[in-house]
Amino acid sequence: MSHKHNHQHECGCHSHEHSHCSCNSEMNFEQEHQHFSQYLPAVITFAMLIAGLIFEHSKAFENLAYGIFWHFWKSTFSIIWFLTAYFIIAFPVLKQTLRAFLHKDFFNEFSLMSLATIGAICIGEFPEAVAVMLFYTVGEHFQEAAVNRAKRSIKALLDVRPDAAFVKRGGEFLAEKPENVKIGDIIQVKVGEKVPLDGKMLNEFSSFNTSALTGESVPRKIRQGEQALAGMVNLDYVAEIQVDKLYSDSSLAKILDLAQNAVSRKAKTELFIRKFAKIYTPIVFALALLISLLPALFVENYIFADWLYRGLVFLVISCPCALVISVPLGYFSGIGVASKHGILFKGANYLELMTKITHIAFDKTGTLTKGVFEVKKVECEENFDKNEFIKIVAAVEKHSNHPIAKAVTAYAEKNGDGCKLASAVEMKEISGHGISAKVDNKTVLVGNGKLLKKFEIPYPVEIDNILETTVLVAIEGKFAGYIIIADEIKADSQTAVNQLNNNKIKTILLSGDKETIAEYTAKTLNISEFYGNLLPENKVEILEKTKGKNNSVVAFVGDGINDAPAIALADVGIAMGGLGSDAAIEIADVVIQTDAPSRIFTAINISKSTHNIVVQNIVLALGIKFIVLFLGAFGIVTMWLAVFADVGVALLAILNSIRLIFKKF
């Protein structure tokens, strides 16, 4: 409703204990004052309504000697009293009705309530007009309180926004707004403080609480050179971090943007209810008019005031606010609950789609496996020096952020000069194959077997049968050797696949790794189908075929840049947000901040619970509405009962919606 006020207070205080700053105290006082003033018109109207009813119906007052005063009360003062009480509570609704009329919106809950109560006044039912508007407004306040409750878990994310960043300026750390910090600046984060911007750790290590970003309470140890993200809380030692992203591009800013904009994408059910209300409202206006006027043609003792009263009762009962409020509130609650579990939905429509998923396809590396690789074995041909071989490979791989490339670079740094002495130029990435480059004027190919086959460079066929990930290398057009890289399946992956299999959701593995690795991973985890040696376009082709099956709703889970096309094509694209690439996270519909595959099933459970609550609200609201509408048309229901039925249905639907917040997943 338009009379709900939104108050925003800018606090410029840079105190570490923000909750104790004077700005925050003033803000809390103003919010409490605003909260009380919001209910003040309802309190005054309620008091006036009770007082008016006592005066009007009490025999004690009627028997007093002041007959003239009593006559004046009954005839004039009573009307003034109830009209005053009415306008105190009705002014915002009448104002909203007028505003809607000016925009040619004639059929809405405001016009419905305004017409019903003004009609009641016209036929002399002053107390009922006041009561209807009072209970409607109180119902709206309850709805607003419920919406605020549902928003709380999303608003909790906003509390992780740091108030200040302490930036190194001339040998000391000075407080600045995070928005003003530039890339390359060094910031200091003391124990207990939030990391204000994304950056690389300069200290040896420290532990960080990541619960605000991931929903996980287990601290994460971040070492020198590793990424610290905005919103994390430092737990161990004073940390110095070199900023590598502006605040607007930080992980925290993106998460906040996702959470705040999620509700703008409506679910189909929600859109249907909005459309339904647009059609439903003019129909009930017409029916109310017919109830008031049509009986004049066939009722013998037709009394206009009586039938008008029935029409007005019909209007009060028909108010669709229970539907219009409770359905989006149900989805809002679902989005809020999911965010508490480290799951970010980019819209209510994806909550609804998650309930219909029939197939889930997984990328392997970084999704089902840890994506933390280590060099297990280095084999090079006899005519190549092993140290020289590692140096050349590391020179190419050091420019890549891929986990395999990082593993090779780390191995080289630990075992000799490594990449420090080599420099790669003319770098060219061949998607799904590897990289070609020049190192010390030598043409170098680093990648998988497909890369060497593409350039028609022969290599031992038994390498293709190695189960682990292998990096093949060719130098100057000749096979030079290979590196075996070990990856480890996430402990949580088996649980995730079992949960999906038990709920008859078909699981598929789509991997760029060799067929043997894909087969080994799929059989270990009991995944239904597997495909290896896939390029990004091959993953898209398989997804298209799967989507083409009857009534298939397909989700794809990935974390890398190569997964972005598949994530975009899937009915529901899911990205692993902790270690995932920006491209994957940007294009995904759902982001799993914990990198835990089992959270996918949690997301499905939350979606199903949300959908059930929305359906319950629709059945409850429409069922009770139609019963009471039928009774109202025959004059069995009074306006008092009509307003109680309307507000009661809305409150029941609201209570049902917020029940989701307290449910455990």
What's the 3-state SS for 482-531?
EEEEECCECCCHHHHHHHHHHCCCEEEEECCCCHHHHHHHHHHHCCCEEE
SS3 content of the chain, % helix, strand, coil (to 5): 55, 15, 30
Query: 251 with 229: CB under 8 angstroms?
Result: yes
* Token pair for 543: 């997804």
Tokens 């690789």 belong to 373
Torsion of CA 343, 345, 351, 353, to 10 degrees: -110
**What values do phi and psi take at 27, rounded to 5?**
-65, -45
Separation CA 361–CA 382 (nearest Å): 42
**What values do phi and psi take at 169, rounded to 5?**
-135, 105
Strands 554-558 and 359-362: parallel
363 assigned to active site: yes
**Distances 110 to 88, 94, 313, 489, 651 between C-alpha atoms, Å:** 16, 7, 15, 57, 18
- Which residue type is seen at 450? K
Strands 374-380 and 424-430: unpaired
- State the DSSP string of 233-289: EE-SS-EEEEE-S-GGGSHHHHHHHHHHHGGGS--HHHHHHHHHHHHHHHHHHHHHH
List residues bridging with 173 in a β-sheet. 168
Separation CA 259–CA 400 (nearest Å): 31
Separation CA 282–CA 285 (nearest Å): 5
Of 163, 185, 198, 363, the catalytic one is 363
- Which residue type is seen at 382? E
For residue 276, how far is the Cα from the chain centroid? 25
Strands 239-243 and 199-201: antiparallel
- State the DSSP string of 61-112: HHTSS-HHHHHHIIIIIHHHHHHHHHHHHHHHHHHHHHHHHHTT---SHHHH
Which own/partner pairs from 145-150 qualify as long-range (CB within 8 Å, at least 24 positions apart)?
Answer: 146/329, 146/654, 146/655, 146/657, 146/658, 147/325, 147/329, 147/332, 149/658, 149/661, 150/329, 150/332, 150/333, 150/336, 150/657, 150/658, 150/661
Strands 554-558 and 572-576: parallel
What's the 3-state SS for 31-42?
HHHHHHHHHHHH
Strands 434-439 and 424-430: antiparallel
Separation CA 582–CA 578 (nearest Å): 10
Separation CA 180–CA 169 (nearest Å): 13
Residues marked as catalytic? 363
